[in-house]
Amino acid sequence: MKWEDFRQSDNVEDRRGDGGGGFGLPGGGGGLGIGTMIVLGILGYALGIDPRLLISGAEMVSGARPGYVEQAPRQSKAVPPTDQMGRFVSAVVAQTEDVWSEILPAQTGTKYVPPRLVMFDGQTQSACGRAQSAMGPFYCPLDQRIYLDTSFFNDMRKRLGGGGEFAYAYVIAHEVGHHVENLLGVLQRAQRIQQQSGKVEANRISVRVELMADCFAGVWAANAERKWRILENGDIERAIATAQAIGDDRLQQSARGSIVPDSFTHGSSAQRVEWLQRGLKSGRIESCNTFASTNNARY
């Protein structure tokens, strides 16, 4: 993936160094990472704990945690990231800003207000509660920030076979996709339906929200490719491998040796690949309506 010559975003808040370890691209380490996430996932499935709170991409669509007292906002470092990983993340965020600022108003009439991305190691505070490495990257709609411990990328490469710069960009773009859902009112409507639904139906709504974000990641990539020719040989294949690796069926099979579709919260490997590819092929927001096949008139 081509990114070195692109501008750096002003919306990256670097909290690394507050705790945990550093990270290099592609080497390095730090934080709890996906090894701990898999262990927690196994415990979650064994004990009946909602895996959304334990494994990759536990986006906090439901708002702040009970008992959380919001702390004063953290101050970002004045100097932009200068390390390779920091520059990469900043460049990808800038690409998402430039693409969505153009296509969101053009295709939906909605102004794009970019989110802020917080890089951290180990743990940090968000308006949705404490962010920890074991939770994976997530978007908090309460402060419109994406929280990312970049050790997640190292773990993707080592343990899930989903490494590569474009695969990492796909993860970032997926979280930006949740921000787009927030701007379009999708998250609010989905949450309202979930609150009126049973557990199985709430899980199905969560899957549709996640698959839409996968599709939006594809929409971003398609438009970035048309605009700048960012893709290199093997990039699409590595992103697809990542989508497959983080499917609920793959994670459940690894964690407990069986698959329970009614407990899916992010979608199967096949679904995640399908919706990523839809966005890649169309480049259109309208192609990402994962709710179109439902009979829920309230959405």
Q: Is residue 275 part of a domain?
A: yes
Q: Which domain holds residue 221?
A: 12-61+78-288
- In angstroms, the CA 94 to CA 6 distance is 8
**pLDDT score recorded for residue 37:** 41
Q: Is 20 within a domain? A: yes
Check residue 142 and give its pLDDT: 92
Average pLDDT, the chain: 77
Q: How far apart are CA 280 and CA 275, in angstroms?
A: 9
Residues 209-266: tens digit of each pLDDT: 999 999 999 999 999 999 999 998 888 888 888 887 777 766 767 677 777 777 777 8
Convert the pLDDT of each residue in 7-53 to its tens digit. Answer: 999 999 998 886 543 333 433 333 333 343 443 343 333 333 333 33
Residue 68 belongs to some domain of the structure: no
In terms of pTM, does the model score above 0.85? no
The yes-or-no verdict on residue 187 having pLDDT over 50 is: yes
For residue 180, is pLDDT > 90? yes
**Beta bridge pairs of residue 138:** 147
Residue for token pair 């997640």: 152
* 218 part of a folded domain: yes
- How many structural domains compose the chain? 1
CA triple 34-35-38, angle to 5 deg: 80
Question: What does the pLDDT look like over 129-176, one tens digit per residue?
Answer: 888 887 788 999 999 999 998 888 877 777 665 568 888 999 999 999
- What integer pLDDT is reported at residue 20 of this predicted model? 40
Q: Is residue 154 part of a domain?
A: yes
User: Is 46 inside any structural domain?
Assistant: yes
Q: Is the pLDDT of residue 74 over 70?
A: no
Minimum mean pLDDT range among 190-204, 251-265, 282-296: 251-265
**pLDDT-based confidence at 105, cuts 50/70/90?**
very high
Average pLDDT over residues 254-283: 84
Structure tokens given for 121: 């190691």
Is residue 295 a part of any domain in this protein?
A: no
- The answer to whether residue 26 is domain-embedded is yes
Higher pLDDT, 74 or 171: 171
Position 295 pLDDT exceeds 70: no
